[in-house]
Structure 1
Amino acid sequence: MTQPAPTLCFIGGGNMARCLIGGLRQRGTPGHQIRVAEPMAAAREALQTEFDVACFESNRQAAEQADCVVLAVKPQIMHTVCQELHGHSGRPLWVSIAAGITSTQLDTWLGGDQRIVRCMPNTPALLGVGATGLVANVACHEADRALAERILSAVGIAVWIAQEAQMDAVTALSGSGPAYSFLLAEAMQAAALRQGLDAEAARRLTYQTLLGAARMLSESAEPADQLRKRVTSPGGTTQAAIETLQGGGFEALIDRAIAAATRRGAELAAAAGN
């Protein structure tokens, strides 16, 4: 006997929820299987109009009869939201996309013995090319993992992480990672201007270069170090640039940056309390 398709509920209708809903709708999830809780009337109307989904002002009302509840709210209000949803009668799968909030904290706030998948998507998900790390608590079944992966894969790739302690590193790497690329783009453009290029040429060449490099990384079977070596001719211009970056401690600086972001993720979890 075929199992009925799960009903999904999104608590929060912000940018990440919107892109997940849009991705699911594009991949064939019917609108009647998606419910959204959103406090702003204008946002509810926009969600209903664009995606043909049921929207509610009340979190509890939206979550009624849902098989999976996606917690898409800011970490600062997660405790309050969970208190409101505490005692949900349907025992749904809970999927959290909030940075720094552990599954243990969520389980406590939601009443205990809950099935929880914690996720960390990043902003390129808004374009359907996101990278999400996921980890499931011990209460989850294979069907829960499959459902969570289906939801997050609607906006890019979904990668399972072995231990939740590694999620702060995921946040530091892919969650915060787009900002590192944007900072690199800023620096490259500024350097090109100082070398005499006009602003528009510097912008277009920088953006297309980063896009091309990203595509080579994702579409080539060769690892990053081999791709780098292939474009670094001995004694050439690229070698001069690479030696300058490495001489200035480029790799060590990136290592310290990701370590700092990882520590901050742990601090946010500690600040959220139990």
Structure 2
Amino acid sequence: MAQDAVVGIIGGQGWMGRSLGLALLEQGILSAEQLVISSHSGRGAAFRDLTGVRCINDNQALAELSDVIVLSVRPEDLTNIAVNSGGKLVVSLLAMTSVEDVAQRLGSRRVVRAMPNAAAEIRRAYFPWYAAPDVTKADRRLVEALLESCGTSRELSAERDLDYLTALSGAGPAYPALLAQSMLEHARHSGIADDIALEAVIQTLVGGSLLLERKGTDPKDMVERLIGYDGTTAKGLRTMIDGGIHRIIHVGLTAAHEAARERGQGRG
């Protein structure tokens, strides 16, 4: 990204704004003097001991100080943001809020809409993003540098895909947590001590996910291979599949997608 670009994060004390700001500093992408944070109090706990970071409570002042404005507030708070960006690059991290909504509210056609998730806290988030037509190539390179400080970014060709990914990747740990909850309850019911049950479930899910990531193949290949071994795991997998686990997951994702799409349309 531009070496001297100043980045302002509106809502920089929220979980995502804080994660992004700290990652940019930790990785040397920005110096402290290149970061401006706004919050209601103007005193950011996460940044107050970092000399050079400007913490203020005036969003318009932040916009005037910054070259890039990151919008990291709750979607329902957008109507409370009274900012004229002066046509600067705006990166919106608001779920279910269209590029057009942000463009009208902040007075810029250079808007990027991104969908973060909670794994940004450990720098493992997945950030799909869509850029409005007026966003330049230089803007895109800057956006990639910003987002990849907290994980992996992927530009999309259609904004509508972000509604679906809000339901899928935007859920962050929610779906793995639901699976973990079910596995943990079963282990406890089977008489396994709480500490061992929790350790076994977490390590199984984390280890399995890392293995899938390393192999980089379709997860179906692993499922079919394990079923092919015809052991205890195969018995469990067949029973879950026959019981309709795929249908249940598809129904849940469809419901989440419809909710994201409907709420997004409701804001227009």
User: So what's the TM-score if we normalise by structure 2?
Assistant: 0.94
1:192 deviation in Å? 1.1
1:233 deviation in Å? 4.1
Asked if the contact 1:35–1:63 (Cα under 8 Å) also holds between the matched residues in 2, the reply is no
The separation in 1 between residues aligned to 2:129 and 2:9, in whole angstroms, is 17
Kindly provide the CA deviation profile for residues 94-116 of structure 1, in whole angstroms up to 9, marking residues without a partner as x: 000010000011112223x5100
Asked if the contact 2:9–2:70 (Cα under 8 Å) also holds between the matched residues in 1, the reply is yes
The separation in 2 between residues aligned to 1:27 and 1:235, in whole angstroms, is 47
Aligned to 1:108, which of 93, 96, 104?
A: 104
1:209 to 1:114, Cα distance in 2 relative to 1, 3 A: same
Kindly provide the CA deviation profile for residues 160-203 of structure 1, in whole angstroms up to 9, marking residues without a partner as x: 11200110111111111420100100000111112221111110
Q: Equivalent residue for 1:245?
A: 240
Asked if the contact 1:21–1:51 (Cα under 8 Å) also holds between the matched residues in 2, the reply is no
Aligned to 1:97, which of 78, 93, 99?
A: 93
The separation in 1 between residues aligned to 2:51 and 2:24, in whole angstroms, is 10
1:35 to 1:216, Cα distance in 2 relative to 1, 3 A: same
Asked if the contact 1:152–1:158 (Cα under 8 Å) also holds between the matched residues in 2, the reply is yes
The separation in 2 between residues aligned to 1:100 and 1:45, in whole angstroms, is 28
- SS of the equivalent of 1:257 reads helix
- Show the 5 A alignment for 1:73-152: 73-81=73-81, 84-86=82-84, 88-89=85-86, 91-111=87-107, 114-152=109-147
Q: Equivalent residue for 1:37?
A: 38
The separation in 1 between residues aligned to 2:25 and 2:39, in whole angstroms, is 18
Asked if the contact 1:76–1:272 (Cα under 8 Å) also holds between the matched residues in 2, the reply is no
Kindly provide the CA deviation profile for residues 195-236 of structure 1, in whole angstroms up to 9, marking residues without a partner as x: 221111110000000110110111113321122233334431
The separation in 2 between residues aligned to 1:126 and 1:147, in whole angstroms, is 20
Structure 2 gaps of 5+ residues are none
The separation in 1 between residues aligned to 2:138 and 2:261, in whole angstroms, is 29
The letter for the 1-side match of 2:21 is: I
Asked if the contact 1:10–1:70 (Cα under 8 Å) also holds between the matched residues in 2, the reply is yes
The separation in 1 between residues aligned to 2:237 and 2:230, in whole angstroms, is 11
1:177 to 1:15, Cα distance in 2 relative to 1, 3 A: closer
The separation in 2 between residues aligned to 1:137 and 1:22, in whole angstroms, is 27
Q: Equivalent residue for 2:161?
A: 166
Structure 1 gaps of 5+ residues are none
- Show the 5 A alignment for 1:11-50: 11-13=10-12, 14-28=14-28, 29-41=30-42, 43-50=43-50
Structure 1 residue runs of 4+, over 4 Å off?
none
More displaced stretch, 207-216 vs 235-244:
235-244
- SS of the equivalent of 2:241 reads helix
- Show the 5 A alignment for 1:51-66: 52-66=52-66
Kindly provide the CA deviation profile for residues 66-123 of structure 1, in whole angstroms up to 9, marking residues without a partner as x: 1110000110011221xx113x33x210000010000011112223x51000000100
The separation in 2 between residues aligned to 1:45 and 1:3, in whole angstroms, is 27
Q: Equivalent residue for 1:225?
A: 220
Q: Equivalent residue for 2:72?
A: 72
Asked if the contact 1:96–1:119 (Cα under 8 Å) also holds between the matched residues in 2, the reply is yes
User: So what's the TM-score if we normalise by structure 1?
Assistant: 0.92
The separation in 2 between residues aligned to 1:156 and 1:193, in whole angstroms, is 34
